[in-house]
Structure formats: C-alpha cells, structure tokens
Structure 1
Amino acid sequence: MTKDQCFYLGHIVSKFSFKGELQIKLDTDEPGLYQNLESIFVDYRNKLIPFFIEKSNLQKSNLLRVKLEEVDEEADADDLLKRDVYLPLSQLPKLGENQFYYHEIIDYRAVDETHGEIGSIKFVNDQTMQALFFIDFNGKEIIIPVNDRFIQKVDKEEKTIYFKTPEGLIDMYLED
C-alpha cells in the first residue's frame, strides 16, 4: 500500500496507558465513522505499515484511543508517537453530489461565472485557517477560498468546478 492509494486520517499524538494504547487525533468532520476500524496504516520511516486494532474508543470529539495488536509496552507505543495514520481510499465515505475530497479535484477545470474558464486546480491548501484552491491560469496563480457560497456546481463527470466569486477577486490575480 502506498500513500497515493490512501488518505490521511490523522496523527498519533499521545500514549494513553502503560499497556501500549495510543491516541490518534483524527482529521475529519465525522470522527464517529472511524471508531470501529479493523486496521490502520502508520507512516513509519516513509513506509506504510499495517496495524490491526484490538479495540478502539472515541475520546472527546476527535481523539481515537486505540489498542494495536503487538503494541503491548510503553516503549512500543513511544516508537509510534508523532506518526501519521492512513486508510485506503476505498474506505472514504461516499459524498453527496456537490461534495468532494480535496485529493479528487486536482486537475479539475475551474470555471467562473464572470470570467469563464480560469484554469485548473493544482492543489488545495487546508493547512491555513481557511482552505484555499490554488488554480493555475496560464502560469499565473489564482487563489480562491474554499467556500460554499463561491461554489455553484461540482461536475465530477466533466471534472469541472463552477464558481461564482466575489467581484474583483479574480481580477486582482489577472492584473499585471
């Protein structure tokens, strides 16, 4: 299993007990979907290593407490701290018509109601307070906030997202 066949689920943030239990901070809007997992992949020295889950319990809103098979001591748990956790893409929940996962819209065409086609989506930065679409328009970069008010339609068949952006937003990127 490679990272491009998986999605990022979260990060191992702490130990829970002296018996190898760990807490994973889930990066999801719906943590309850992941409380009964059978297994996870842990990024260990740039390789995804599968671990089977003996038991899990959702703590607070987005902390998943897990007991992994063969992680029975504090030293074993220490070795897994601060590592990223992944699941296969096949385990992503299905989305509604106008919903999307950031990884699936890369290279989608971006069409604005006023400006027409404004390029293709190169990536989505979700590491900021506001997630942002980064769009390449003939070598110029256009940045549009990921905001439901700006997205008119997501056409997955045509691989196109239709935008209605605020007046002047796109113009400021097209000016020399």
Structure 2
Amino acid sequence: MYCTYGYDVIASIGWQRQVGLRTFNEVHENLSSKVQISASHVRHLYNERYLPLLVCSERKLFDQLQQASEESGLIYTLDGLAPEGGEPRLWVVRELYTNLTLRSGWLGGQDQATFETFLEPIAALDLNVASMISDKQRGLLPGNQNYFSQYRSRLLPGSLP
C-alpha cells in the first residue's frame, strides 16, 4: 500500500540481494534498465518493503484478523511472484478484508508437500476461513485441502483446468 512499485520489483530486489548476493548499487544497475528507480530507493524498498513482507511483521495485527474471522470469515489470497530466469517464487498469502500479509517466503517447488509446509502455520492460527483465492498451481489444491477443507477453493479467471 502507498508504494509506487509493485511486488514484482520488490521481489526482484529481494531475490538479487538474498540469493544473488548483489550490492544495492548492482541491484540498481540491473533494475534501472527496466524501471525508473534511484539507488537510494532500491535500498529503501529492500529495507522498508521487502524485509517486512518477508518476515510478515503485520502479524502484530492479529486482533484485527481474529475479529474479521469471527464476523464474516476470512478470504485468503495466495499468489507466487516469479523472478526472471525460473528461480524459486516468492509466495505471499494475504487476507482480503484486512489486507494483512499472513505469510510469505521463497518456494522452490510447487508440489503438495511444499504447499502443506508453507500453509501449516496459517492453519495453526485456527481462524474461520471462508475462501482461498489463487491460481491453479500443481500441488496447491491438494495441499490446501488438508488444512482448509471446509470451503471450496476459488480459482482466478484464466487459470488452467
């Protein structure tokens, strides 16, 4: 929220820093050919957007999430952001009503076991989940059903059968 750059740019910065071990100047050089961005903004986005996203600092707002759970049930959105080159995806689970990030992390696979491990801490919150919206990734639906079987998963338009 209140950011000029999308998750694709933020994910790219994080990937280049953490996995590529690039300096902020190297990340800036790489990005500046694709997006208009300053070196200081690259540093800012890494520290103020990427790191909080990665550690899900919004968990301190659990009371708000719990209230929405009790009132109407939660709607989770789950999506993977893929950097160029086929590297692992940054997966993000957000709650639609509260706009809170519940979990994020780099996932190298898209099999059922990977998604189950990723979703387990969210299921452990034991909140009322009305729906989960995602595209149809291999392993996602079976992984989903082990923890969130009380609702029908919704697929985003254009997802593959």
**What range describes the TM-score normalised by the shorter chain of this pair?**
under 0.3
Q: Max radius of gyration: which structure?
A: 1
**Structure 1 length-normalised TM:** 0.24
**Where is the strand percentage greater, Structure 1 or Structure 2?**
1
